């Protein structure tokens, strides 16, 4: 059995998204900037896609900018707010300790330029509260950027409440909604969101295309200079096939959100319930305000990498927070941020589901994860020490 349970990393494209792309390679391949009919046809497709995305987010099409993905949208949102803030002598930014690196690394860069960054603590409940945001806002705060939902541990943040607080304080509010778009209800006006990032490949669209929503009138800084595309805020010939597929996939996800949420949540809850039976484990992330498809655990006495490799041999594609892929042996900043100590954080497992998963697949996962955890523990010197009382259990 092959089970793809790594949908937080990327999703399989839907047939709809694939079929939407094809005509824009085969026949409607013009450059939207061209004045001839082939170009104008592409331009029309682009503007239709923009209107579709705007309708899904509850904003005006003129507030939608297409980008190369979530990372670019995050970078541009944060840099825009930072540059605007500097012009008013405001150089303080509030964010959270468990943001995606697209946000954290941009903030690191700004810190080196003299901005002051406050990262809100996420240990309590593996989440932040609107009150934490409120308490952190200062006279010189030029941006609050908090993710809508965490990609590793699934916590869903109180975005509407944070938006209301930012609005009241007159501080621009950006949210990285890459994990939320197409999965959770978004209404940028009702939630007082000034800027929002999303990415097509997290909701069964293609890779390499995303959106930055920016409230009308908010001054943007370009990351890419060149032509006058995207109202001169993002140069480069538009990725029409990708943009049209993004719009179709987002609309499809929003149209079927309730139904998908119900199926995915049922599978998630069965997995959480089943995996909780493994001794000396802990669920990561907010147990209540949680993405429908996220399951994240730490198992004491094992290495996440070995777990992934063994699960892969049983056909299960999962992920671990302790990514040594980057050549670093440091456990995930997210797991450390919620207070997991290094040893525990190393034994992490993330299973992220989509509506393409089935209950049979959940049963397959529930058969093999406990076996593989036990198999690894049997070989682990750390586990032996824990069992012999030489070391104390943390979980």
Which residues lie near ligand PLP (CB under 6 A)?
69-71, 74, 100, 102, 147, 151, 176, 178-179, 199, 202, 210
Tell me how far, at minimum, the Cβ of 199 lies from ligand PLP, in Å: 3
Tell me how far, at minimum, the Cβ of 239 lies from ligand PLP, in Å: 12
**Bridge partners (DSSP) listed for residue 283:** 297
HSE toward the beta carbon, residue 39, CA cutoff 13 A: 7
Tell me how far, at minimum, the Cβ of 179 lies from ligand PLP, in Å: 5
Asked whether 64 and 125 are in contact (CB, 8 A), the reply is no
Tell me how far, at minimum, the Cβ of 69 lies from ligand PLP, in Å: 3
Q: Which is nearer to ligand PLP, 94 or 373 (CB)?
A: 94
Q: Is 324 a catalytic residue?
A: yes
- Could you say which of 166, 254, 317, 324 is catalytic? 324
Q: Which residue is at the shortest CB distance from ligand PLP?
A: 70
Tell me how far, at minimum, the Cβ of 126 lies from ligand PLP, in Å: 15
CA–CA separation, 202 and 183 (whole Å): 9
Neighbours of 274 (CB within 10 A): 17
Q: Which is nearer to ligand PLP, 180 or 298 (CB)?
A: 180
Q: Which is nearer to ligand PLP, 132 or 179 (CB)?
A: 179
- Cβ-defined contacts of 123-127 (< 8 Å, 24+): 123/337, 123/338, 123/339, 125/286, 126/153, 126/155, 126/284, 126/285, 126/286, 126/338, 127/155, 127/156, 127/157, 127/158, 127/286, 127/289
Q: Which is nearer to ligand PLP, 63 or 176 (CB)?
A: 176
Q: Which is nearer to ligand PLP, 172 or 205 (CB)?
A: 205
Q: Indicate which residues carry an active-site annotation.
A: 324
């Amino acid at each position: 059995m092959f089970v793809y349970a790594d949908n937080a990393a990327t999703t399989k494209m839907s047939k709809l998204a694939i079929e939407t792309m094809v005509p824009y390679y085969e026949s409607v391949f013009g450059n939207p900037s061209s004045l001839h009919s082939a170009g104008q046809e592409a331009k029309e497709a682009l503007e239709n896609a923009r209107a579709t995305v705007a309708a899904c987010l509850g904003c005006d099409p003129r507030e939608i900018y297409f980008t190369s993905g979530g990372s670019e949208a995050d970078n541009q949102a944060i840099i825009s707010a930072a540059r605007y803030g500097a012009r008013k002598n405001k150089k303080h930014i509030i964010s959270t300790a468990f943001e995606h690196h697209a946000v954290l690394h941009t903030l690191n860069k700004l810190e080196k330029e003299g901005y002051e960054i406050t990262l809100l603590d996420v240990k309590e409940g593996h989440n932040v509260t609107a009150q934490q945001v409120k308490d952190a806002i200062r006279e010189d705060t030029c941006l609050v950027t908090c993710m809508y939902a965490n990609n590793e541990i699934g916590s869903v943040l109180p975005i509407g409440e944070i938006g209301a607080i930012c609005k009241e304080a007159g501080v621009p509010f950006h949210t990285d909604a890459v994990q939320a778009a197409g999965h959770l209800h978004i209404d940028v006006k009702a939630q007082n969101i000034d800027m929002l990032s999303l990415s097509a490949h997290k909701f069964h669209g293609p890779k390499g295309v995303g959106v930055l929503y920016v409230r009308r009138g908010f001054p943007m800084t370009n990351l890419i200079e060149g032509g006058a595309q995207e109202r001169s805020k993002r140069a480069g010939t538009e990725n029409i096939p990708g943009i049209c597929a993004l719009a179709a996939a987002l609309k499809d996800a929003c149209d079927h959100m309730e139904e998908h949420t119900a199926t995915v949540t049922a599978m998630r809850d069965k997995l959480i319930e089943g995996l909780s039976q493994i001794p000396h484990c802990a669920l990561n992330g907010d147990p209540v305000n949680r993405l429908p498809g996220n399951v994240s655990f730490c198992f004491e006495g094992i290495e996440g990498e070995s777990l992934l490799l063994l699960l892969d041999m049983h056909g299960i594609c999962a992920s671990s927070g302790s990514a040594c892929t980057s050549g670093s042996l440091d456990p995930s900043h997210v797991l450390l941020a919620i207070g997991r100590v290094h040893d525990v954080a190393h034994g992490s497992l993330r299973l992220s589901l989509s509506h393409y998963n089935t209950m049979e697949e959940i049963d397959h996962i529930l058969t093999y994860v406990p076996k593989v955890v036990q198999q690894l523990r049997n070989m682990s010197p750390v586990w032996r020490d824990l069992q012999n009382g030489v070391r104390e259990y943390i979980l």
